[in-house]
Amino acid sequence: MSNVRVAVIGCGYWGQNLLRNFCELEGADVVMVCDFDPRSLNRVTRRYPSIEVTPSYGDVLANPRVDAVVIATPVSTHYSLAKQALSANKHVLVEKPLAQSASQVLDLMELSERMGKTLMVDHTFLYTGAVRRMKTLVDSGDIGQLLYFDSVRISLGLVQSDINVLWDLGPHDLAIMDYLCGQTPVAIAATGVKHLNTPYENVAYVTVQFGNNFIAHFHLNWLAPVKVRRTLVGGSKKMIVYDDMENIEKVKVYDKGIVQTHDPDRREKMLTGYRNGDMFAPQLEGSEALRLMAREFVASIVEKRAPLSDGNAGYRVVRLLEAAQRSIEENGRLIYLDQESLWSETSADTSTVAAAD
């Protein structure tokens, strides 16, 4: 079977990473790179002289040798660029978040379905060894019933010029939560603060409520003096700490929990204690997440199936972002979410990705 021919759109920091990964991927050929900035294009040409470069997106769409586009441009352009590409009969991979509103995502999903083309969003963390291992742990039942998901992603980060910290950092953790938990949230509330005359929120706290006392909470901060990327997953049987700043032992599984016993003095009363046990840090599969993500895009095209992070996954994340943004603007008001069925039946599961490696 012939290789999938890819064009990379936008060649900034992340676009360069995507370019490198698609260049090194078996089964794919990067044939074009498109960027407004001639310096970016020059840099590409120097390093990859065989790739055609252009400042014109129209050139890319008109090129019959391009099967698929990989969009790594500012968020505000995602919808328009993806829509044009699907209309031009290209498969599409979009940087996170997939678009700026849930309705935009639905539009793209409908179009991709109609055109028979893959629509995928780059939820990179889903392809890390850490998150995939956690998914296995959750799905196996070892963790028990999920009690809470608590995520902190803070650092002294580059303040973005077109989006706030919610839309910049939030997609990572919302996508991880969505993937791990596989549950439909009931409501969301968020608070955000703008500091120092910045036009966008640089600190945000987001709470997501589910139906069964399961709660998720997110701390997103561009203004923190230390870099923290830590997620706690509390279960009725075991608990996970996922610390992405660790070099090696990123995932630790604690055999800890609550136990309830009858009070020996008063039979009707329950005593609540806690249980301590071993800790275990599984070895993680070490492939670069971006490489697996790129491979999943190509595989979904070749195998004509939905990718792991398909339009549905993108939709589930964007509708949370949209509702959280509304909550921020209404000073933390709880926003209820439609209880639609949001899970595609054809999504590839973890084992597929892992096994393919």
* Cis amide leading into 185 (omega within 30): no
Q: Does 221 bind a second copy (CB under 8 A)?
A: yes
Please identify which residue in 42, 76, 89, 283 interacts with a second copy, judged by CB under 8 A: 283
Residue 357 CB neighbour total at 10 angstroms: 13
Closest residue by Cα to residue 296 from 334, 257, 345, 349:
349
Q: Does 5 bind a second copy (CB under 8 A)?
A: no
DSSP structural state of residue 147: E
Reading across the β-sheet that carries 119-122, which strands appear in turn? 52-54, 28-34, 4-9, 68-71, 91-95, 119-122
Binding to a second copy (CB under 8 A): which residues in 327-356?
Answer: 331-334
- Compute the CA torsion angle 11, 13, 19, 25 (nearest 10 deg): -170
Please identify which residue in 213, 339, 346, 351 interacts with a second copy, judged by CB under 8 A: 213
Please identify which residue in 9, 28, 143, 147 interacts with a second copy, judged by CB under 8 A: 147
Q: Contacts with a second copy: how many residues (CB under 8 A)? A: 66
Binding to a second copy (CB under 8 A): which residues in 77-106?
Answer: none
Please identify which residue in 13, 26, 49, 140 interacts with a second copy, judged by CB under 8 A: 49
CB of 333 to a second copy, least distance (A): 8
CB of 144 to a second copy, least distance (A): 10
DSSP structural state of residue 201: -
Burial class (CB in 10 A: 0-12, 13-18, 19+), 267: exposed
d(CA 209, CA 189): 9
Which stretches does DSSP call E strand in 10-139? Answer: 28-34, 52-54, 68-71, 91-95, 119-122
Q: Does 241 bind a second copy (CB under 8 A)?
A: yes
Q: Does 193 bind a second copy (CB under 8 A)?
A: yes
Q: Does 294 bind a second copy (CB under 8 A)?
A: no
Q: Does 326 bind a second copy (CB under 8 A)?
A: no
Residue 103 CB neighbour total at 10 angstroms: 14
Q: Does 12 bind a second copy (CB under 8 A)?
A: no
CB of 213 to a second copy, least distance (A): 6
Binding footprint of a second copy on the chain (CB under 8 A): 47, 49, 147-148, 150, 152, 154, 156-159, 189, 191, 193-198, 202-203, 205, 207, 209, 213, 215, 217, 219, 221, 223-227, 232, 234, 236, 239-241, 245, 247-249, 252, 254-256, 258, 260, 270, 272-274, 276-283, 331-334
